[in-house]
Amino acid sequence: MKRGARFHTKNEEPLEDWLLSYADMITLIMAFFVMLAAISKVDANLYEKVQSGMAKDIGKRTASTPLDNVRKELAQVVSATRGGDDAVDVGSDERGVVLNLDANAMFKPASAEIRPEIMPIIKGIAETLNNERFASYRIEVQGHTDDTPIKTQQFPSNFDLAAARALTAMRIMNGLGLPEERMTMSSFGQYSPRAPNHRDDGTPLPVNQSLNRRISIHVYPH
């Protein structure tokens, strides 16, 4: 070989076949997560917390938490009203915010007749939910009882009593300004207790039974 001779390599374009496989894999993964989201039950509160945490830790910014704002404002209204903390507890579930109103404080026994003393609390709740900032939220009013059977001419079953009480609460809030189209009403009767009505041996648990007699107001994004 002569001095000064140099090796030459053929100038070839790099192979990019792997990109096709990579793109296919990404497309399949995306389709999988889309399907997963479509069939899963989304926890609105958890989603909001994760979104806020990611914005803070990764994006170094503060994300809005509208559901948490609704919950805090409603809790403040309840606490600021006389007897509110005893008659209402404010919490959350997978859909949004939940207010549980003690049916004993709201209604006369075995009746859907509202007690006048509960009206300031309901008024405060209705006015808060009627704020323009929360106009996109839906409101479901649920009626619940304990498992003590009722059978009167007006209320043949617990379903009837729970439904009448939920309807009464919904009509009152509508009369206080909440648009009817934002609200729905449902009756669960005795079949969605917050706590067991009896011990395993059948002994009644009066505290739990009282807890189960309630009107639940669910507030969630439309």
Region 115-124 average pLDDT = 96
pLDDT grade for 29, boundaries at 50, 70 and 90 = confident
Percentage of the chain modeled with pLDDT above 90: 66
Distance CA 8, CA 28 (A): 42
27 and 136 both lie in a single domain? no
87 and 172 both lie in a single domain? yes
197 and 138 both lie in a single domain? yes
* Sheet of strand 97-102: strand arrangement: 88-92, 97-102, 214-221, 137-144, 183-189
Between 84 and 11, the higher pLDDT residue: 84
Asked if residue 134 has pLDDT above 80, the reply is yes
53 and 77 both lie in a single domain? no
Question: Considering the domain boundaries, does residue 92 fall inside one?
Answer: yes
Give the pair of three-digit tokens for residue 6.
């140099």
Exposure class string for 144-153: b at 16+ Cβ within 10 A, else e? bbbeeebeee
25 and 96 both lie in a single domain? no
User: What ranges in 40-153 are assigned the alpha helix state H?
Assistant: 44-57, 66-80, 84-87, 103-106, 119-129
Q: Which residue range forms the structural domain that includes residue 137? A: 66-221
Question: Considering the domain boundaries, does residue 198 fall inside one?
Answer: yes
Region 20-33 average pLDDT = 73
Q: Which of these ranges, 25-34, 93-102, 186-195, 200-209, has the smallest mean pLDDT?
A: 25-34
| Number of folded domains that form the chain | 2
101 and 157 both lie in a single domain? yes
Distance CA 101, CA 118 (A): 10
CATH code for the domain of 191? 3.30.1330.60
36 and 76 both lie in a single domain? no
22 and 79 both lie in a single domain? no
The helix/strand/coil state of 150 is coil
Asked if residue 187 has pLDDT above 60, the reply is yes
Question: Considering the domain boundaries, does residue 149 fall inside one?
Answer: yes
Asked if residue 18 has pLDDT above 80, the reply is no
Q: Which of these ranges, 4-13, 93-102, 108-117, 168-177, has the smallest mean pLDDT?
A: 4-13
Region 157-184 average pLDDT = 97
Asked if residue 54 has pLDDT above 50, the reply is no
Asked if residue 51 has pLDDT above 50, the reply is no
Question: Considering the domain boundaries, does residue 1 fall inside one?
Answer: no
Distance CA 10, CA 6 (A): 13
Question: Considering the domain boundaries, does residue 3 fall inside one?
Answer: no
Exposure class string for 24-56: b at 16+ Cβ within 10 A, else e? eeeeeeeeeeeeeeeeeeeebbeebeeebeeee
User: Which phi and psi (to 5°) does residue 137 adopt?
Assistant: -90, 140
Average pLDDT, the chain: 84
- Residue 48 is predicted with a pLDDT of 47
**Alpha carbon 40 to chain centroid, angstroms:** 16
Question: Considering the domain boundaries, does residue 6 fall inside one?
Answer: no
Distance CA 118, CA 114 (A): 8
Question: Considering the domain boundaries, does residue 49 fall inside one?
Answer: yes
178 and 121 both lie in a single domain? yes
Region 207-215 average pLDDT = 97
156 and 48 both lie in a single domain? no
* Single-letter code of the amino acid located at 9: T
